[in-house]
Chain A
Amino acid sequence: MSVLLEARGVSKSFGGVQALREISLTIRRGEIYGLIGPNGAGKTTFFNTLTGLYSSDRGTFTFDGAPLSVKAPHEVALAGIARTFQNIRLFANMTSLENVMVGRHLRTRAGVLGAVLRNRSTRAEEAAIERRARELLDYVGVGSRANDLARHLSYGDQRRLEIARALATEPKLLALDEPAAGMNATETAALRGLIDSLRRDGVTILLIEHDVRLVMGLCDRVAVLDYGEKIAEDVPEKVQKDPKVIEAYLGGSLA
C-alpha cells in the first residue's frame, strides 16, 4: 500500500506547553489509522495542525506525494483532507441537505453572475450539487431528514451528517475527531458500520477515538500519543500489549 500522508517531526507548543513533540507518522492509502491517547495527549492538536487551523512550529506534512504547505484550512480541504469536529460543528440553522450542499462548495464553480443569471450551466451544477448531497445523506443514513434543520437532528444523526458533509468535499483522507464521543452503544454500532462501509469504498480514514474497543476493532494500525509524544505505532493487537501504552493509560505505579 502506498503512503497517503506522511508527517515528519511535527511540533507545536502553546506558550510553555509542548503539545506536540516531533510527531512522525505515515498513513497508507485505504487504511483506517487510529490515533489514541489519554486526555490532553495532543490528538486534537495534531488534527488541527494537519487541517490548517493551527500552524506547526516545526515539521512537515507530505500528502498524496506533494508537500502540504499549510496556509489556510480551506486549502487543506482543497488538497483532499476533510474533517469532522470533536464537538460537532454543523451549520445549525441550515437543513441537513443544505449542510451537505455547502460541502460541495469547493468542487463547484458558480459565481455571482451565474447565480443571478441562473444560466444553463449554473442550473446543471446546482442540480448536480443537490443530487450528490442527497446521495451522501442516504449513504450515511439520514436521507429521511434532508429537509430538517441540522439542529433538530438527534446526536447520532448529527455526527453522521457531519461525515456526509465532509464526504461531499471528495476527500482522499477523512479525519474523524472522536466520532463516537457521547454516543450510546446502538449509535456506536451504527457508526462502526458506516466507517466499515467507508473503508470498503476506499476512503482512507484517520480516526481519533476514546472508545478503545471501537479503535481496536476498526483500525488497521494505531498510534498512541502521550504528553505530545508518539509512544507506540503498530497493529492494534501489539499496541494493546505495549507496556508503555499500558503505563500511559493506567499510570506508572500500576505498570
Chain B
Amino acid sequence: MKLDLAAWRGDARWSWAGIALIAIALAALPFVVGRGFGNSWVRVLDFALLYIMLSLGLNIVVGFAGLLDLGYIAFYAVGAYLYALLASPQFGIHLPFWVILPLGAAVAALFGILLGAPTLRLRGDYLAIVTLGFGEIVRIFLNNLNAPVNITNGPQGIAQIDPVRIGAVVLSKSQSWFGVEVPSVYLYYYLFVALALLVIFITVRLEDSRIGRAWVAIREDEIAAKACGINTRNIKLLAFAMGATFGGIAGGLFSGFQQFVSPESFALMESIIVLCMVVLGGMGHIPGVILGGVLLAVLPEVLREGASVWQRGLFGRILIDPESLRMLLFGLALIAVMLYRPAGLWPEARRRREFAAAAGERKGTRG
C-alpha cells in the first residue's frame, strides 16, 4: 500500500487520471448494473457499500489492533436504532439526516468505549467471547425494550422511518437529472459511495500514522508496545471507538435506506459475516478488506440467482431451495479461500513478498 502510494505520488498526472477514471466508473456503475441486470442489483450494490464501511470499521479493531471482536454488529444496531428513534413517528421526532448521522457515529463510539473498557485485559478467545456476549446483549435489549416503556417497539421493530433528505432531494423518490430518470436506489448508491470513500480515506490516513503504528504494535506484541511507552489502554479504546464510529455511520444509513429496522437485522450471523469479509479479503489490508466486503455482499446474491437458474436448466425444476444451497456454496467458497489463500484474497504486499521470499529460500536450499 505504502509503496503503491509513493509510486502514485511520483507522477501527479497519472494519479489525477486514475482518480478521474475511478470517479467516472463509480458514477456510471449503477446505470450499467441497473440497465444490464435490473435495479434490484443496484440495491445489492448499496448493501455492498454499507458492508464496505462495516468491514473497514471492524478491520481497525481486528486487522490493525488485533482484537478479535465478534459483537461488532452491535454498533451498526446502535447507529440504526438511533436514526430510527430520532427520525420516525415512534416518538414523533424528525431530526434531519445530517444531525443524526454524526450523532449516531458519536453514540456508537461511546458504545465502543463502553465495550472496550471492561475487556482491556482480554485477548484472543476470551475477548471474542465477551464481545460476542456484548453483541447479543444489545440485540436482546432492542428486542425487549418495548416494556414497561416502549422505546424500541420490540421485535416488531420501527417502521416508517424518514428517508434520507439532502436539501430538497428526498432520496426515497426518484429524481430527474438533466432529463435522466434516477431511481431512489441510485440516489442512495451515490450517498453511500461518498461516505464509503470518506471512510476509506480516513482509514488509509490512520493506517499510515502514529496511531496506526501503535495499533499494529499492540497487535504484534502488547508487552513490547507498553515498554515502548504506548498507553495500550487508550490506544485500544481508540481502536474500539474508531471501529464503532464507522459501524454507527453505516447503521444510520441502513435505517434511512430501509426505512425500517428490527432486532433481526443485527443477529450474531451479521457480525460473523462482517468478520469473514475482513479475514477473507486480507486482514489489515484496506484494499483486501474492501474486496472482501464487495465479494461477500454480492456473491450470495449471485449464488441465490444462479442456484435457481442452474437447477431449472439441469432438472427442469427447482429441487433444492436456492436459499439453503446458497449457504452451502457460500460455506464451500469460504473453506476454499482459507485453504488456498490463508492470508486472504488480497493480502498486504509485504506479506505477499514474505511468502515469495520464503518460497525462494526453499528453492535456494534445494538447488
Contacts and interface: CB of A to CB of B under 8 A. Distances in A.
**Which range holds the interface residue count of chain B?**
20 to 34
Interface in A71-115: 72-74, 77-78, 82-83, 85, 89-95, 98, 101-108, 110-112, 114-115
Given A74-B232, A106-B228, A101 B213 contact: yes
Given A91-B220, A112-B238, A112-B242, A165 B211 contact: no
B225 A102 contact: yes
Contacts of A83: 227
B1 interface: no
A77 B229 contact: yes
A102 B354 contact: no
Contacts of B225: 91, 102
B155 interface: no
A169 B229 contact: yes
Contact of B226 (A72, A95, A101, A152): A72
Interface residues of A, number: 44
Contact of B205 (A78, A93, A115): A115
Contacts of B229: 74, 77-78, 103, 105-107, 169
Contact of B350 (A101, A104, A118, A149): A149
Contacts, number: 112
Contacts of A89: 221, 223-224, 227
B56 to A, nearest CB: 14
A129 interface: yes
Nearest to A79: B229
Closest 10 CB pairs of A and B: A106-B229, A77-B229, A115-B209, A91-B220, A73-B226, A89-B224, A102-B217, A110-B210, A116-B205, A74-B229
Interface of B: 201-202, 205-206, 209-214, 216-217, 220-221, 223-233, 238, 242, 350-351, 354, 357
Given A90-B221, A112-B238, A116-B205, 17 more contacts: A52-B226, A74-B226, A74-B230, A77-B226, A85-B224, A90-B220, A91-B225, A93-B350, A102-B217, A103-B229, A105-B210, A115-B210, A116-B201, A125-B210, A126-B210, A149-B354, A152-B354
11 contacts: A74-B226, A77-B229, A78-B229, A82-B228, A89-B221, A91-B217, A98-B213, A115-B209, A116-B205, A129-B210, A149-B354
